Structure 1
């Protein structure tokens, strides 16, 4: 029984005792379609034991697969494959992809099946796994944007590489869904959108207009928002931002370039809500909402819609914007949004041709109270939105107090430009006036031969983190940038002022060594911190970049921890199924072997029953 096909068969045989009607005893709170045709539907949930439970529903009665990849490529993918054979027997096993032609069964079977069912049109598999296993072939389940892979075949003759394969980025570490939040009994809907705007034949357009907020006689709270994207323009709309305007502002009419010849269209800097490509609707926690209807509240907003028409498609008309949900049923606190990160222009730059380059932007909040005009109460941060452009690969937001790191407040080490969404924190975090907040962005520019500068275009770059908090204050943004003269001098370039410093960056002979020198200099340089209020009052502060401390998460070997490795809320079930995973040893299966297993299954089953 040393033949790899026979060992794989042993695992198939060991799963025959599965109860196909078994399911999780608590509902899985989160769900998403994994493909545009809605053939793959995933439900999932996680618990305090750091276990993730999945339920995959696929429109196929053949084999189905699900798993994770590092960057979306097949080699290195971590997958499970399972299904129901024509005679009703079940199969399920943990594999990893070696290359474009080879898939290998894991020695450590770290995915635990709970149920497999099949009807006339579809297959459903429910299973779970620890976030971090001790198997190097298993991709960790983290709070990053994960790249999922799903596949199926027309029948139970498994041919993974010939199946229908779908890849999708998804954030799994959600903590609340809308059903767990309070929906008011009375609410109203109000749309902030452009009206029949002709999208220019240009790779980047920032369209801005000014729109009044709902007129209400008493105080109301906005408690939810979602994007309205004109059908067929989904690939054009990059982001939508809603800025609150000071009631003292004199605002222009019409629609114009946000950052063009008329500076009035760049007025208003206090972000109310924001959406970026890939995002969905977002409901605020029960404790807070955006206040409207009081003398202190804004009456007008600036709507900013960023279009990316790289293919220069003509004659596109757009009516995209943001839909607000508001209610007279008030929440305890008014909320605000603090924009942090690296001041976008003109200091931010990225060297070309490097696999990793870190940029830093510091918020030193020591002058918050002076700028606010009154003492700033503790800011309770409950959510965040991270933002870079195409070169971004990772973003981290780190909180410091009295010179010591408190926590990594938010991070996405596998950032995906096509999935930018407002995400909630597991627990509300307190940010005090005087704290420092550092935003670190990691970039890759291997496909670029010239410098990338910070700026509004998708081909430029940004490094931002928007913090959603309550109760609100008057601070709208707090962002930093390095002393560019110091950076130029560190690179051997003369610079008498900031302008010459930026010009000097263009004179550098960029390679891996000079890129490392530039990153080191940007981190060592003094930071100039720009703090702005909703009334456009600006002050400058200084600071410096502190080190970021982070440690690896411990792994859990599912096989060695069988007695305790059970998802919360799950009923105990057959120990024989759990212990059977130790029978499955490494098997490199070219697909003729897999075909042999399934076509010859009844005969082999009879043979093994006789031997045993």
Structure 2
């Protein structure tokens, strides 16, 4: 009778779970490891909240978090899983060092769901971009270093689990589902065929290829890399496609882009670009690249930069770019503007610099009278670019209007085309300033601007519409002024560059050189698609970095991080071993839920007896 009464009592409890709405779909996704064991979906909203969903091929513990620079110490980590009895654990931690984790005093990750089946453990949770906990890393527009890990059971031990690191840009704007795919399209490949990669650290291979012949105007609405992998990795650092005119004036075959034959460096109007770490890119719905009209290119120059650091012989390559073409036209024709520091011959970075800024100025005074709209950007740097600072800024009448983009956590291995958070209009007369921050602590010689991976670049390719006749707009400082400021004699630019080798580089001379390069007269080189060039002059203005916004706790309350709050939280946290006890991870409400579950099981078993 008691069992019947208990059963009737259970029937009288209303069901609260069946009417729960399904969670909204998350727009973005990526695998966080090469073996496709950790799959992440994510999205963000106007409330500065980021939602994550991890599906991990394990029935043990799962960890996910943010690393400051790619290492474990200082990382912001959340850990969760499902016990064999069905109860769940989930908590917010941070790594003190390689051996110790601390549970955060402030729990700023909110669990939305946590399930496990025979194959996968799936966690869905959210947190604000900037929390009020000093042990949480901010989610920003920078490249994020994501740490993920898992184990085979529910004893959390990072040293025995599998751990992965991946750089990812989280603040994506447009998802693939928001882009219009045409009903009619065809693909066209621009690539090298069976090219033997030289046994050199750096090779720039160029060839000229005709574009497809179409009877009417078409748009290239998407492009993607075709990469040949060698020994499980790619030798290709970047691929650029330049627009050319009549093929009768172009050389044939494949040769060094910047070698003895200057004809292989013809054509400077960038059409599309890809760099290491990037994937396919589809233009926004309002614009695409035009082909098939008298104003459009007939040929392209395909430039592939190879980095064969290990000097591996016998490598054959078939890499290139695939175009997606359609007769279904967009409202505007897309153009590409190359901005930044003019690479050669006066760009240099001193050795032993913890931070050294270079500036490239573009003045749009020579643009036609039509304002242009920026929609995306591709940045291209080499190995000395530090994960510290990079900005592209729009100036109007000498005043900073806004930062076009910035990345304080640059990763050489992730150079992808990124949509801007909002479209930006560049008016005639505006200035675009590109700032790059380099680090050369591991170098004893000057790093010069140049094509080699061991040289350096500071370039930003801006995708815009409507297309105009300007192909590049880059700047560089008067090198003679810099040489004189550093106490060196120089009668021309070449002597100025040579004089840099005679400077005794230390912290003082590095800062003097940086200041001199910023304050020197700036030469702005503007080149049209017809290879006509005109120089302007200008000055480098200070870039104003806006202050970060208010922080949030998980309840939504606003706050400000202060040094006293930071000290109190750190003092209150208790150090625990890296071999964490799962019972300690289980938050108190879940422990109570587990106890209630055991009570119910005990009661039901007594009823069956």
TM-score computed with the length of structure 2 as normaliser: 0.89
Q: 1:598 to 1:352 in 2, by over 3 A?
A: closer
Answering whether residue 515 of structure 2 is matched by residue 520 of structure 1, we say: yes
Q: Distance in 1 between matches of 2:239 and 2:87?
A: 51
Q: 3-state SS of the aligned residue for 1:161?
A: coil
**Alignment correspondent of 1:365:** 364
Distance 1:506 1:282 in 2: 42
Determine the structure 1 residue equivalent to 2:86.
88
* Structure 1 residue 415 displacement after superposition: 0.7
SS in 2 for 1:264: helix
Structure 2 CA distance for partners of 1:107 and 1:525, relative to 1, 3 Å: same
| Structure 2 residues without counterparts, runs of 5 or longer | 1-15, 560-568, 599-609
**C-alpha distance in structure 2 between counterparts of 1:21 and 1:255, whole Å:** 65
Equivalent residue number for residue 7 of structure 1: none
Deviations 1:181-231 (A, max 9, x none): 110000010000001000011100000000000100100000000000013
Displacement of 1:591 in angstroms is 4.3
* Separation in structure 2 between the aligned mates of residue 483 and residue 497 of structure 1, nearest angstrom: 10
**Change beyond 3 A, Cα 1:596–1:127:** closer
Distance in 1, Cα, partners of 2:162 & 2:20: 28
Q: Give the Cα–Cα distance (whole angstroms) in 1 for the partners of residues 268 and 291 of structure 2.
A: 17
**1-structure distance, mates of 2:18, 2:446:** 58
Change (3 A) 1:407 1:24: farther
How much does 1:247 deviate? 3.4
Cα drift, residue 596 of structure 1: 6.7
* CA offset digits 1:15-42 (Å, max 9, x no partner): xxx9899786210010000111000101
Partner of 2:451: 456
After TM superposition, give the deviation of residue 439 of structure 1 in Å: 0.4
| Ranges in structure 1 where 5+ consecutive residues have no aligned partner | 1-17, 369-374, 565-581
Aligned to 2:280: 281
Distance 1:261 1:281 in 2: 33
Aligned to 1:112: 110
Identify the match of residue 586 of structure 1 among 550, 570, 573.
Answer: 573
Specify whether residues 314 and 19 from structure 1 end up closer, same or farther in structure 2 by C-alpha distance, changes over 3 A only: farther
Note if contact 1:22-1:114 (Cα within 8 Å) is conserved in structure 2: no
Corresponding residue of 2:533 = 538
Give, in whole Å, the separation in 1 of the partners of 2:518 and 2:545: 18
Partner of 2:220: 222
Cα offset for 1:516?
0.6
| Counterpart residue number, 1:429 | 424
Distance 1:21 1:441, change over 3 A: farther
Question: Per the alignment, do residues 592 and 201 of structure 1 end up closer, same or farther by CA in structure 2, a change over 3 Å counting?
Answer: closer
Partner residue of 1:29 out of 27, 30, 42: 27
- Distance in 2 between the 1:164 and 1:514 partners? 46
Q: Which residue of structure 2 lines up, in the alignment, with residue 198 of structure 1?
A: 196
| Deviation, structure 1 residue 142 | 0.7
CA contact (8 A) 1:20 1:115 kept: no
| 2:374 alignment partner in structure 1 | 381
Distance 2:548 2:333 in 1: 36
Residues 119, 537 of structure 1: alpha-carbon distance in 2 compared, 3 angstrom cutoff: same
* Conserved 8 A contact 2:65-2:76: yes
Alignment of 1:286-435 (within 5 A): 286-368=285-367, 375-393=368-386, 394-435=389-430
Residue number in structure 2 paired with 1:438: 433
1:242 aligns with 241
- The question of whether the paired residues in 2 share the 8 Å contact of 1:132 and 1:553 is answered with no
Deviation at 1:349, TM superposition (A): 0.6
Aligned residues: CA RMSD? 2.3
* Cα offset, 1:346, TM superposition: 0.9
Query: Is 1:57 equivalent to 2:44 in the alignment?
Result: no
Aligned residues: 565
**Greater relative contact order: 1 or 2 (C-alpha under 8 angstroms, separation 6 or more)?**
1
Show CA shifts across 1:106-126 (max 9, x none).
111111110001001110100
User: Kindly tell me: are residues 218 and 82 of structure 1, through their superposed partners in 2, closer, same or farther at Cα, counting changes over 3 Å?
Assistant: same
Go from structure 1 to structure 2 and tell me whether the alpha carbon gap of 1:154 and 1:475 turns closer, same or farther (over 3 Å shift).
same
- In 2, Cα distance between equivalents of 1:559 and 1:606: 22
Structure 1 pair 85/402, CA: closer, same or farther in 2 (3 Å)?
same
Does 2:250 align with 1:257? no
1:216-274 CA deviation, whole Å, 9 max, x = no partner? 01000000000000133742000000000133871000000000000000000000000
In structure 1, how many angstroms separate the alpha carbons of the residues matched to 2:185 and 2:592? 62
**Residues 393-452 of structure 1, C-alpha deviation per residue, up to 9 Å, x if partnerless?**
232100001111010001111111100000001211001121100000011111111110
**Shift in CA distance, 329/608, structure 1 to aligned 2, threshold 3 Å:** closer
Aligned match for 2:38, one of 37, 40, 45: 40
Give 1:597 deviation, angstroms.
4.7
User: 1:589 aligns to what SS in structure 2?
Assistant: strand
Q: CA deviation at 1:608?
A: 8.3
Structure 2 distance, partners of 1:111, 1:555, is 17
Report the equivalent of 1:5: none
Q: CA deviation at 1:550?
A: 1.1
Using the TM superposition, give the Cα deviation of residue 539 of structure 1 relative to its aligned residue in structure 2, in angstroms. 0.7
Query: After alignment, is 127-136 or 271-280 more displaced?
Result: 127-136
Query: 2:51, 2:17 → 1: CA distance?
Result: 17
When residues 596 and 433 of structure 1 are mapped into structure 2, their CA distance, relative to the original with a 3 A threshold, is closer
Structure 2 match to 1:501: 496
In structure 2, the residue matched to 1:101 is 99
- Helix, strand or coil for the counterpart of 1:28? coil
Q: 1:250 to 1:21 in 2, by over 3 A?
A: farther
1:556 to 546, 551, 575: 551
Say whether the 8 Å CA contact 1:490–1:521 is kept in structure 2: yes
